[in-house]
Amino acid sequence: MAGKRIVLDVLRGETVFPPPLWMMRQAGRYLPEYRETRKRAGTFLDLCYNPEYAVEVTLQPIERFGFDASILFSDILVVPHALGRALAFEEGRGPVLTPITAAEINDLGTDAFHVNLAPVYETVRTLRKKLPDETTLIGFCGAPWTVATYMIAGHGTPDQAPARLFAYREPAAFARLLKILADQSAAYLVRQIEAGADAVQIFDSWSGVLDEACFEAFCIQPVAEIVRQVKAAYPNVPVIGFPKGAGFNYERYRERTGVQGLGLDWTVPLSAARELQRGGAVQGNLDPLRLVAGGKALSDGVKSILDTLGQGPLVFNLGHGITPETSVPHVEAMVKLVRSGGHG
């Protein structure tokens, strides 16, 4: 299948076996070559905004493992950063932002948004030239709800209580924030597609902490608006949605957002995943700790997914991002298992 981007075929509903595969966070700290580039780059944000380094780390897992898709190396929080919010990444703590107040939401600066993100677009353009022709290039953004949780709390929290309270106490301001984030994120994805992305993914890492009504208002509606705007510009570009922890809301999410690919976390039972697959392509959903463990835990997990989901449109992936402690030989073993249909 030289030159054929099979991830795109699967996202459009075709069944390919063995399925194509890639990993969320596949460019990252588990790779020694990434750690070397990260040292040279300086800060994490320097790495995200330097096209030379960002291209280098994006290509590293493709060169090492030959994955069928490459995802842009960046971070979901470049969007609030491009809107004028202070952002830093602290070792051992992660992202730190200046918490936004209700009064500050209308002051978010959209005028320089694309100028601030120009290095990201340059990275995408360069990647499409350097990647093998058959490798699908995936752009991405964070979903408005997940991005908003960091903007409001100023950092990650266990259950996103600050953002949930903000939404209850300041509903109009919160709705305005989600609208701004949806519109700007859609424009961001459109620019990535213009630069060469073949598909885009929307990460909603914190969708699992919401009740039914809030899931509809904060997760489904903003993502549906992003999909609408992206499809208006590029109707043939697949959009993958990953609402981690959505549980019983997964089916409703797919139906109401219009995403073509549905990313599943590792807690989704494979029987439920098979039902969701009837509505289109699914992506996932190996527990990342099976990859850390290796051996029988890994082979059993891969085989179960392939046996249950291999007869429909499937992009094999983890059920969340690869963890830094994962060993490279275990990734090599996983790739071999998937490529052999679970019998490697």
Length of the chain, please?
344
Percent of the chain predicted with pLDDT > 90: 96
Give me the pLDDT at residue 1, please. 41
Give me the pLDDT at residue 344, please. 65
Give me the pLDDT at residue 343, please. 80
Mean pLDDT of 122-144: 98
Supply the CATH classification number for the domain 6-339.
Answer: 3.20.20.210
Give me the pLDDT at residue 2, please. 46
Give me the pLDDT at residue 92, please. 78
Percent of the chain predicted with pLDDT > 70: 99
Cα–Cα distances (Å) from 89 to 109, 267, 314, in that order, read 21, 29, 34
Cβ-count burial 25-63 (b if 16+ within 10 Å, e if not): bbbbebbeebeebbeebeebbebbbbbebbbbbbbbbbe
pLDDT surpasses 70 at 123: yes
What 8-state DSSP symbol labels residue 316? E
Please work out, in degrees rounded to the nearest 5, the angle formed at the alpha carbon of residue 127 by the alpha carbons of 23 and 239.
55
Instruction: Provide the pLDDT confidence category of residue 174 given band limits of 50, 70 and 90.
Output: very high
Give me the pLDDT at residue 90, please. 87
Poorest-pLDDT segment among 49-58, 103-112, 181-190, 235-244: 103-112
Q: What is the mean pLDDT of the chain?
A: 96
Q: What is the pLDDT of residues 225-281, one digit of tens each?
A: 999 999 999 999 999 999 999 999 999 999 999 999 999 999 999 999 999 999 999
Mean pLDDT of 126-131: 98
Give me the pLDDT at residue 109, please. 84
Nearest-angstrom CA–CA distance, 293 and 149 = 32
Give me the pLDDT at residue 79, please. 98
Q: Are 213 and 220 in contact (CB under 8 A)?
A: no
Q: Give the residue numbers annotated as catalytic, written as ranges.
A: 25, 29, 38, 75, 150
Q: What is the pLDDT of residues 77-92, one digit of tens each?
A: 999 999 999 999 988 7
Q: Are 342 and 37 in contact (CB under 8 A)?
A: no
